[in-house]
Structure formats: structure tokens, C-alpha cells
């Protein structure tokens, strides 16, 4: 039995949620260890993730595209054509 090939390319669509998750974990750790003011960063990152899912871009995704990361091409093809 062969394993299906996993998509190993880093795309903007994979890196944005990864970066958001890392930033949220880091800001929560800083809020617990230093000062609760770090929770502002958590709210900002969460708002950007919601904005990214609704609109399809955020400031971080624009920077990643400028850095050369490609966008994922996940378009569903019509079965009748």
C-alpha cells in the first residue's frame, strides 16, 4: 500500500495560519509571564486571521507574496467539463 503524496510546498495559504498560531501562542506566554498587555497582540492577530479568512489577504500575506511565496491553487474543477 502506497502513501498518497502530501503537498509539501509552503504557500501563503499555509503560512498565514501557521504564523498566526505561533504569534498567538507567543503572546499568551508573554502575557502569562510578563504583563497582561501582551493580550492586545493576541486580539490583533486573531482579528487579522478573521480578516484573512473573509477577504483572502492580510498585511502578512502581502509581505509573503513580495518575499516570493506562491499562492495555493486549490480551485475545484467542474465535473461536467
Cell numbers at residue 75, please?
Answer: 480551485
CA 72 to chain centre: 12
- Over residues 34-73, the pLDDT tens digits come to 999 999 999 999 999 999 999 988 888 899 999 998 988 7
Quickly list H helices, the chain: 12-33, 39-55, 59-67
Among the ranges given (1-5, 24-28, 56-60), the one the predictor scored with the smallest mean pLDDT? 1-5
Amino acid at each position: 500500500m502506497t502513501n498518497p503524496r502530501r503537498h509539501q510546498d509552503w504557500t501563503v495559504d499555509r503560512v498565514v495560519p501557521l504564523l498566526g498560531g505561533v504569534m498567538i501562542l507567543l503572546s499568551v506566554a508573554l502575557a502569562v509571564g510578563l504583563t497582561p498587555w501582551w493580550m492586545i497582540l493576541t486580539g490583533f492577530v486573531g482579528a487579522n486571521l478573521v480578516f484573512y479568512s473573509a477577504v483572502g489577504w492580510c498585511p502578512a500575506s502581502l509581505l509573503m507574496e513580495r518575499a516570493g511565496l506562491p499562492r495555493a491553487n486549490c480551485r475545484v474543477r467542474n465535473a461536467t467539463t
